[in-house]
Amino acid sequence: MIKKRFYSVILTVLMVSMLFTGCSKSKNTDSNSTGGTSADSSSAGGGSKVKLTALISKHSLTKDLKEMKWLKDLEEKCGVEVEWQQISADWDTKKSAMFASGNIPDLLFNATGDSDYVQYKGLFENLSPLIESYAPNLQEMFTDKPEIKQLASEMDGEIYATPRYKCVWPSTTCTMFINKKWLDNLGLEIPATFDELEKVLLAFKEQDANGNGDTTDEIPMDFQGYENGGAFSPRVLLGSYGVQLTDDADCGYFVEDGVVKNYYTDDRYKELTIFIQKLWQEGLINPEVFTQDYSKYQSVARGDGDVAKVGFTFGWETGDRVGVKLKDQYAVVPPLKVTADSTVDVRWNNDTYAENYSRNAIAMSSACKNKEAAMKFIDGFYDKLVSMQVMFGGMNEVDKGISDNDDGTYTVLAPADTSLDPGSWKWTNSIADFGPYYIREDIKNSLTLSSDMEAAVNEKSNYTAFSKLDEKKNAYHSAFMKYSVDDISTLAINQANVNNIVQQTIASWITDGSDINSAWAAYVDQVNKAGQSQNTEIRQKAYENYVATLK
């Protein structure tokens, strides 16, 4: 009986943690750990530095934090000595054992989720009083952007982790790319409809599009994720049916005319899945799309020297997606119409909030012995100049991330490692998006971004007119929704059941050629009974509460 009860508790912990992590894939790989998991914070006499322990869940590319001069300088300025534990893989599966033990580091960077504060009540410090007393930079952020304080706060107003804000990211995550050189080789144009896309992909498959004499080495279409969401997947084509997705479509949710819906059970998702199934059955899709991780997804698109392998794909920015050697071969594909005569108001993802706002940057252990010093150290990351360095690398001759132009302006430098594209260099040279930061609005006028960011902004301008948000009718900003403890548990358990059904069913339909139309009603009924209907009701309530706070 004891064993059964223990396993039941562990299962619940895992399910709760999936609520905010189960609908997207992590890009982390590998592992690098330095230092212990926890140690007492203490301050020796005579002005000695305060010793803190910290854990960071970082990107697999990111170098050892001990090599970052800007971070050493920040520790020195704050009078702390930090023993870092660095995790680059499988943190979501490792953390439950650590949290359950109650022995955690003083500070946790990018390592906690909302469900953790519920499941491990008392393990984490409420930061609200500390912010009021010792964190002027965070106070400035909350004054400038009141919605960020709302984002970071629980239903009862407590703050268990600091948030992030970066004003310079584009309003959409995903861009569609096509190899224009292949199109030119075959005398074709950039497709504008689903039918035109299919014809182009067939030509890519059959006519030696890359011109190397081998008609079998082209991958007409590649993506990552579909049945389980994913930012870089054909699910963005739901906009072609008029579905306005926002903030990476958390677990399939979106809003239409103030009503929360889920595309997993929407007929428009069925129609899109039938189209993707047709492309699969014609051999136009990379057969590894349902199994490849992000690293493999990126490496395949880099081709072989100047010979590309992928024709049509989805990604962040051209250089990031296909590499610097091939980027000039590719062009942006604007949103597609389903058919040439379609009268649907075509939409595109708006991920403004997901791209620029996020929660859970740094949490503090309630057992931290020197909370004042720890809070001041946390606040140091939110300094204007430090935040830029968190994102783009240090402003010094060692890190070579940013240059100070001595006139109030700054420039993100080209990679010191010329073998890397700017995006890979950013992730290698700094904590980047996984770090704590407040990139202020005035930075837009004083910071020259890296070439990849400039390119991303330019490329994504092709989608601006197709992102049509009405904050009270079709914008679903899931990070701002607040839930009770009971609702969080219910949502997590239900979502685990729903995800299992959706992921297995959709992938099977696409690959085995099943009659989706005849199977759809039974599938929808199964998903709803697994908890989708209940979750939608809970989210509708949370959505309405959020909308009521809008002015």
Q: Who's near 461: CB < 8 A, 6+ residues apart?
A: none
The tally of CA atoms less than 13 A away on the side-chain side of residue 55 is 25
Distance CA 286, CA 305 (A): 20
CB atoms within 10 A of CB 436: 24
Amino acid at 422: P
Best CA proximity match to 114, nearest among 480, 477, 406, 375:
480
SS3 344: coil
The number of CA neighbours under 13 Å toward the Cβ of 236 is: 30
Q: Tell whether the model's pLDDT for residue 451 goes beyond 50.
A: yes
- Check residue 46 and give its pLDDT: 46
**Average pLDDT over every residue of 157-180:** 94
Local confidence band at 444 (pLDDT 50, 70, 90 cut-offs): confident
Q: Cα–Cα distance between 362 and 372 in angstroms, integer? A: 15
How far the first Cα of the chain sits from its last, in Å, is 53
Percentage of the chain with pLDDT > 90? Answer: 77
Between CA 462 and CA 484 the distance in angstroms is 40
Is pLDDT at 442 greater than 60 in this prediction?
A: yes
pLDDT at 107: 98
Q: Using one digit for the tens of pLDDT, what is the confidence trace for 387-401?
A: 999 999 999 999 999
Taking the C-alpha atoms of residue 408 and residue 411, their distance in angstroms, rounded to an integer, is 11
Question: Can you give the pLDDT at residue 205?
Answer: 97
Given a cut of 80, whether residue 436 has pLDDT beyond it is yes
Q: Which pLDDT band, with edges at 50, 70 and 90, does 118 fall under?
A: confident
> To the nearest whole number, what is the mean pLDDT of the chain?
90
pTM of the complete model: 0.81
Residue ranges covered by each domain of the chain: 13-170+354-449
| pLDDT tens readout for residues 60-78 | 999 999 999 999 999 999 9
| pLDDT, tens digit (0-9, with 9 covering 90-100), for 330-371 | 999 999 999 999 999 999 999 988 889 999 999 999 999 999
Residue 151 near residue 357 (C-beta atoms within 8 A): yes
pLDDT given for residue 92 in this prediction: 86
SS3 523: helix
pLDDT greater at residue 203 or residue 12: 203
Q: Is 252 left (phi over 0), alpha (psi -120 to 50) or beta?
A: left
Helix (H, G, I), strand (E, B) or coil at 157: coil
pLDDT at 409 over 60: yes
Query: In terms of pLDDT, which residue wins out, 10 or 523?
Result: 523
Percent of the chain exceeding pLDDT 70 equals 91
State the Cα–Cα distance between residues 43 and 39, nearest whole angstrom: 13
**What's 13-170+354-449's CATH class?**
alpha beta
pLDDT at 129 exceeding the cut of 80: yes
**Do 544 and 483 touch, CB atoms closer than 8 A?**
no
Pure H helices in 120-227: 128-134, 136-144, 146-152, 180-186, 194-206
Residue 341, judged by CB atoms within 10 A of its CB (0-12, 13-18, 19+), counts as: exposed
pLDDT digits (tens, 9 = 90+) for 178-187: 999 999 999 9
Residues 11-62 pLDDT 10s: 444 444 444 444 543 333 333 333 333 334 344 444 689 999 999 999 999 9
In the chain, DSSP finds a helix count (H) and a strand count (E) of 20, 16
Name the pairing type of β-strands 161-166 and 253-256.
Answer: unpaired
pLDDT of residue 336: 98
> pLDDT digits over 454-513, tens only?
899 999 999 999 998 899 999 999 888 888 888 988 998 999 999 999 999 999 999 999
pLDDT tens by residue, 237-276: 999 999 999 986 678 999 999 999 999 999 999 999 999 9
